[in-house]
Structure 1
Amino acid sequence: MVQHTQLKKPVILLNIDSLMSEPLEQAIQIGRAPALQFLMENGNYISNMVSSFPTMSVTIDSSLLTGTYADKHHIPGLNWFDASEKEIINYGTGFRETFRLGMRRSIHNMLYRLNNEHLSNKVTTIYEDLAEAGIPSASINSFVYRGNTPRKLRVPRLLSTLTHFEDGEWTSDATSIFSLGTFSKLRSWGFPTQVAAGNYKYTARELRHLIRKKKLPEFTFCIFQDMDTRVHFRGPMDIKGIAKIDREIQKILNMYPSWEEALNQNIWMVLGDNGHAPMGSKYRKFIIDLRKILKKNRIARIQRHVHKKDQLVICVNQRMAYIYVLDKKLPLSTITERLKKDKRIDIIAWKKENAIHVESGMRKGSLEYRPNGEYTDDYKQTWSIDGECELLDLNVTNDRKLSYGDYPDGLARLYSVLHSHSGRIIVVNAKPGCEFKAQSTPFHLGGAAHGSLHKQESLVPLVIAGTSLKPEFPRFVDMKEYILQLILDQHKD
């Protein structure tokens, strides 16, 4: 057991992929999650943390680590189109789609270009800011890892031909302590059961190794990814995955003389990354095939390069999608009018001059808005708004106060994706129960999916134990400043 004393309390952030408040609370009620229950009962519990948009892993992690939305960090989703390179960027959305796009290309995007090319150099990560202050940090099992320390990553020999690097080895700037499955290991003898990254047991073992060797830095970020696949197929109320990860957290807490001592020595945070919307089971009713809706236009095929004659590119992120209008002679209104005919599409948005224009297949009317106006929202952001507020479920009072209903922080999050990369872009959002499909896109009938702006996927739990301080607002983009404050304030004392 760990029995050393320290002046500073390291921050340990455990990100549990697809952890949602309702199943977490139910797991605790029936005694399936004693470790998480202990942390909740001895700390603060926030059930409505607002994630990023789209609610997809790489965008979420980029927002968490940089404290910005996609308009600043420039990671628009798991699947998007780079207009300058005329290339679809896919970080791995499903085997069939990834295979058609090219495994070599997708692996290179995820393992190298995400951190070294796509993540904007105009923003900094928590890791980079801490390194500037001379403070080390650790990243375990996160594909967004940019720091200040050159690290060698290595692909297993069998997969080395799927990378653009000689012998499957390359160097990236990462954290001073860095673990990413088989690509970079803390324990040389450790063997991840998943090639792309470590599973929940492997992640926990890497963290326990740091604690046992007394090498825990002042900030450690760990991702437990396994629950996402379970929830996709079993639905959002699956509790077994929570119980499995809780058992690993118990083992971590058991390394201290007592669980109370674990709180005395560290600040613990447990965070979900996105929620899931339960999916309908009938294909024709719940799967929105964008290729059929837009079949009058020439749509780029993902297995080849974009041609000059191609008019549209479609990039689906489960329950949201980007539609790129390449043909400059083709008015956006031609496409949006077709989209509006499908009553399963609840948000259709695009840039119109210096404003965001919103329409819907479900509701009539339009809404235009822009930053810096007379309305102040829950997060002290100001907006100018004109039109039907119901389209984004906005609640506006007579004294020009603005709050959000079904789409938390919806104005900022929708604005961010339409300013995250260049092109003539239309963003579509599916109503609950429905999911988008394009060429070879995976879908999840009878299970659950995420990606959209809706609160079902956008609100997740955060548990904080070991400190009484909380972030200013319950949003992912406020976590970076909060964590830096916790750590840097200890250095002032």
Structure 2
Amino acid sequence: MNQNTQQTKPVILLNIDSLMPRPLEIAIQTGRAPALQYLMENGSYLSNMVSSFPTMSVTIDSTLLTGTYADKHHIPGLNWFDNSQQEVINYGTGFRETFRLGMRRSIHNMLYNLNNVHLSDEVTTIYEELAKSGTPSASINAFVYRGNTPKRLHTPKLLSTLTHFENGAWTTEATSIFSLGSFSKLRPRSIATQIAAGNYKYTARELQYLIRKNRLPGFTFCIFQDMDARIHFRGPMDLKGIAKIDREIQKTLNLYSSWEEALNQNIWMVMGDNGHAPMGSKYRSFIIDLRKILKKYRIARIQRHVHKKDQLVFCVNQRMAYVYILDKNLSQPAIVERLKSDNRIDIIAWKNEDNIHIESGMRSGSLNYSPDGAYMDMYEQTWSIDGELELLDLTVSDDKKLIYGDYPDALARLSSALHSHSGRFIVVNAKPGCEFKAQSTPFHLGGAAHGSLHKQESLVPLLIAGTTAKPKFRRFVDMKEFILQLASQQHKD
């Protein structure tokens, strides 16, 4: 397939949901992933890219596409509380929880409000930036897709009664080339094997269609979502999902006269979005039920609207959670003290204007910090810090350089979550092996989960082939600038 007629060398980013460094490396070493091995051996391999926080897909994709953390793009997680509307926003955390919240509301939030209402209009996506220079983009199987091309999307009959959209269709702002399962197809006669989006084969075939038709735009973003569900139940070292997706990548590279030619024609990137932490197997030991810890307070129930008498709302994102304090007369320190009584909660964080306060159920002491100060981290961010550095596993060198340990880019990522939306709330983070639970929350005993600030879920791999360039810093928040630079480089025949 000859792409030399295009002015730019197309950038193709394949996001394999829940791809992690160690399983990837083992799959390659054991011969299960020859396509990924080829890209690794003929390009660059970065094993420790820092994701956003919470480590949930919609927040991560929003950070990747906008080049900002949640304090700017305003997508706080897969589950959060909109203080202005007094309602829980859920983009689909699990059937029982979604059903109780209302399928109609959740589907509308995921398919429409996420991009058209909740994603801040004060930030721009890669797609919007490229469109300014006349460079088209493609989004395949991604729920965060905001561009500047009006698209009329159609709801499958099975879901049409569960949406707010007139006659089962609605107009959204998307990329010029847009694929999302049954809602928008590149191949007119294709059948999406999942209702809301295509599986890994569907994603690959949509990409292959663009290549065959010589329609690759300047930037294409594809998501392979299937592996996340496997790992939740089988654990983080499941390799079968990697092998399956690798076979589809092989088929894609085989569309060229050689794999070398595929790299000559395009820039290929493959990355994970979040890692997974292995979960313990005993409910009483490893599931942190927020309702029991804070049982003395009136907790809002998700199947009804928030009442005036409700004091707390819980929004769980697997291994992290937001605890919202609705009662103005309720003391925040009192809630913190109750949370500290559970030694499975490793970080308890809240804000007071620009200051962030940290305590823990596992360790004694407190830590306070704010932006701008005498300490600089590896990302050239400066901070003022006072208190027990151990609470965030921080160390400081003699020249006041901050070094992150178990919680990569912890100061910026925690601050972003605490400034991502309005309201009075506390962020809690579970220690490895543990997961939060509230009303109808799904959990993953004996499997794996993500969401937290810990490096288990925060560090993911990135393969880059077809260019020697690398992002300035190994963080998702720096990928937008990197991709825009690549997509604007002239391709010489």
TM score, norm. by length of structure 2? 0.99
Distance 2:142 2:43 in 1: 25
The aligned counterpart of 1:49 is 49
Identity level (%):
80
Give the CA deviation at 1:196.
Answer: 1.1
Q: Which letter maps to 1:224?
A: F
Q: Which letter maps to 2:230?
A: R
Superposition misfits of 4+ residues, deviation over 6 angstroms: none
The aligned counterpart of 2:221 is 221
2:8–2:489 Cα contact (<8 Å) kept: no
The aligned counterpart of 2:138 is 138
Q: Gaps spanning 5+ residues in structure 2: where?
A: none
The aligned counterpart of 2:442 is 442
Q: Gaps spanning 5+ residues in structure 1: where?
A: none
Give the CA deviation at 1:183.
Answer: 0.4
- Counterpart secondary structure, 2:161: helix
Distance 1:155 1:489 in 2: 38
The aligned counterpart of 1:417 is 417
Q: Which letter maps to 1:149?
A: T
Q: Which letter maps to 1:5?
A: N
The aligned counterpart of 2:313 is 313
Counterparts of residues 316-395 of structure 1 (less than 5 Å): 316-395=316-395
The aligned counterpart of 1:5 is 4
The aligned counterpart of 2:234 is 234
Decide whether aligned partners of structure 1 residues 41 and 492 sit closer, same or farther in structure 2, where only a CA change above 3 A counts: closer
Distance 2:209 2:354 in 1: 51
What is the CA deviation profile of residues 326-384 of structure 1, one whole-angstrom value per residue up to 9, with x for unaligned ones? 00100101100000010000000001243000000000000000000100001000000
What is the CA deviation profile of residues 427-457 of structure 1, one whole-angstrom value per residue up to 9, with x for unaligned ones? 0000000000000000000000000000000
Distance 2:152 2:379 in 1: 40
The aligned counterpart of 1:467 is 467
Counterparts of residues 119-268 of structure 1 (less than 5 Å): 119-268=119-268
Distance 1:314 1:158 in 2: 31
What is the CA deviation profile of residues 295-337 of structure 1, one whole-angstrom value per residue up to 9, with x for unaligned ones? 0000000000000000000000000000000001001011000
- Counterpart secondary structure, 2:486: helix
Counterparts of residues 274-313 of structure 1 (less than 5 Å): 274-313=274-313
1:27–1:243 Cα contact (<8 Å) kept: yes
1:157–1:167 Cα contact (<8 Å) kept: no
Distance 1:145 1:63 in 2: 12
1:3–1:257 Cα contact (<8 Å) kept: no
Distance 2:237 2:395 in 1: 29
The aligned counterpart of 1:16 is 16
Distance 2:60 2:461 in 1: 14
Q: Which letter maps to 1:286?
A: F
- Counterpart secondary structure, 2:98: helix
Q: Which letter maps to 2:488?
A: L
1:344–1:430 Cα contact (<8 Å) kept: yes
Give the CA deviation at 1:3.
Answer: 4.0
1:291–1:438 Cα contact (<8 Å) kept: yes
- Counterpart secondary structure, 2:490: helix
Distance 1:354 1:467 in 2: 40
Counterparts of residues 400-411 of structure 1 (less than 5 Å): 400-411=400-411
How many pairs were matched up? 492
Give the CA deviation at 1:490.
Answer: 2.3
2:2–2:265 Cα contact (<8 Å) kept: no
- Counterpart secondary structure, 1:72: helix
Q: Which letter maps to 1:403?
A: I
1:153–1:184 Cα contact (<8 Å) kept: yes
What is the CA deviation profile of residues 52-88 of structure 1, one whole-angstrom value per residue up to 9, with x for unaligned ones? 0000010000000000000000000000000000000
What is the CA deviation profile of residues 439-483 of structure 1, one whole-angstrom value per residue up to 9, with x for unaligned ones? 000000000000000000000000000000000000000000000
Distance 2:208 2:198 in 1: 14
Distance 2:2 2:304 in 1: 58
Distance 1:491 1:8 in 2: 5
Distance 1:46 1:353 in 2: 36
- Counterpart secondary structure, 1:191: coil
2:9–2:491 Cα contact (<8 Å) kept: no
What is the CA deviation profile of residues 75-129 of structure 1, one whole-angstrom value per residue up to 9, with x for unaligned ones? 0000000000000000000000000000000000000000000000000000000
Give the CA deviation at 1:192.
Answer: 1.1
